[in-house]
Amino acid sequence: MMSDETDADARRAVVAKRVDFGDPDLTEIRDLAAAAGYTVVGELSQSRTEDAAFMFGEGKVSELRDLVIARDAGFVIIDNDVGPYQTFNIGSELPDGVEVVDRFTLILEIFGQRANTRKAQLQVELAELRYELPRAEAKASLAKRDERPGFMGLGEYDESVERDIKRQISEIRDELASIAEKEESRREKRRESGFDLVALAGYTNAGKSTLMRQLAAELDVDENADRHPDLVTTAESEDMLFTTLGTTTRRAAMERRDVLLTDTVGFVSDLPHWLVESFRSTLDSVYRADLVLLVVDASESVEAMREKLVTSHETLYERNEAPILTVFNKIDRLAPGELADKRAALSGLAPDPVAVSARTGAGIAELRDRVEAELPPWERERLVLPLSDDAMSLVSWIYDNGHVEEETYAEDQVTVAFEARPTVVAKARSKAGDLAAVESA
């Protein structure tokens, strides 16, 4: 958000949206504008087929100009994918100095404000370059066709710009790939240490960060190599879009299993492929988890919930192999009987959801139980160890990395029965074998 009221007032904006049919919903674009620090002072919408030159009909663009003047707005934020020529044409009809911002430019602006780590900054740069590339190509096409540099006010074309954008995209991809390798190495080390990895997924403002605060123990885990662990705070729970851009990982408070819970950037509707692809490495925390909690805002309409569930499944099942547990959040906002109706209506997409209120804590205990039940099964093992200091160290290690069900002592041996991840069981067996070898030597 802007630092003070004066700055916010200086970013007065009119939001606008066109749909092919039906009633345009400007709720999300208002929220996005507020998240970027704009003050929305007016709204305009239209239901009609797209105009190739202006996106809206010419008469509606005239209304937009009058509204901008009446509300003293300096920005027009359009909740559509506006082409470069349409942007120019709309801007030409507005007062001098009024900037036209489309939906994806606005989202990139928000991402840029939230990018506090090297990885997040790279992803924002990648998205910006991918956004700019087709515009650079459009300038090339116009310049070659019309032989007039700067045609339609798009600026003088220089073919080196296109090459430079492609070079920068390649370099950023390489650096993100290197970061991804380090993160995968961290994930595997955590699994080897007995941790299960659970990821929170879902649309922005579904309540993921608030839910994380309910589930998390008092331990931060550093996900950002360039930040001190003390600065990696618990995911915030402000009612603001994109509060969480980078990943935030915390140890979850579970009864039996050691779980690391990761929150990441929320999904947003109608994102183009190039924008989703730019943040693919952030979604690796979801794709490579042992369990995904898909958080859905249960206070929304069945139609909105269904649409978001379908889109989320398309995104998650593209590369994800982990089981998905759907969480209906914000049940404190539902009327009596409404939850049951929504469960029934959405049973095909969410056959057995857990219903919670991250704000009040209702249903959290059941969610913890379901998380432990849905995680990959542990192996059971029973080891008989020669009684020694090294054996007691191994027993302590098993307590730290698994769940001990029995610990008994005889005169010269200790027996420990436990369950743990397969990797932990294998390590325990190996260490027990080493102890036996030393004893018999």
The 10s digit of each residue's pLDDT in 129-174 is 888 887 777 666 655 555 544 444 444 555 678 888 889 999 988 8
Give me the residue label for tokens 């036996």: 436
**Known binding-site residue numbers:** 202-209, 244, 263-266, 329-332, 357-359
Give me the residue label for tokens 């990821």: 199
What is the CATH number assigned to the segment(s) 194-374? 3.40.50.300
d(CA 210, CA 248): 13
Query: What are φ and ψ of residue 238, in 5° steps?
Result: -70, 155
Give me the residue label for tokens 């100095």: 97
pLDDT at 338: 96
pLDDT at 256: 78
pLDDT at 147: 53
d(CA 326, CA 268): 18
Number of Cα atoms under 13 Å in the Cβ half of residue 145: 8
pLDDT at 20: 94
Pick the CATH number of 379-440 from 2.60.420, 3.40.50, 1.10.8, 3.30.70: 3.30.70
Cβ–Cβ < 8 Å for 266, 208: yes
d(CA 70, CA 286): 46
pLDDT at 64: 97
The amino acid at residue 124 is V
**Known binding-site residue numbers for Mg(2+):** 209, 244
Residue ranges covered by each domain of the chain: 10-103, 115-179, 194-374, 379-440
Spell out, as residue ranges, where the chain has pLDDT lower than 70: 1-10, 116, 138-159, 187, 190-194, 217-247, 265, 269-284, 318-320, 439-441
pLDDT at 277: 63
- The pTM assigned to this predicted structure is 0.65
d(CA 384, CA 276): 52
d(CA 344, CA 385): 53
pLDDT at 188: 73
pLDDT at 140: 63
pLDDT at 223: 43
Same CATH topology for 10-103 and 194-374: the answer is yes
Q: How many CB atoms lie within 10 A of CB 59?
A: 10
Cβ-based burial of 337 (10 A; exposed 0-12, middle 13-18, buried ≥19): exposed
Fold of 10-103: Rossmann fold (3.40.50)
**Known binding-site residue numbers for GTP:** 202-209, 263-266, 329-332, 357-359
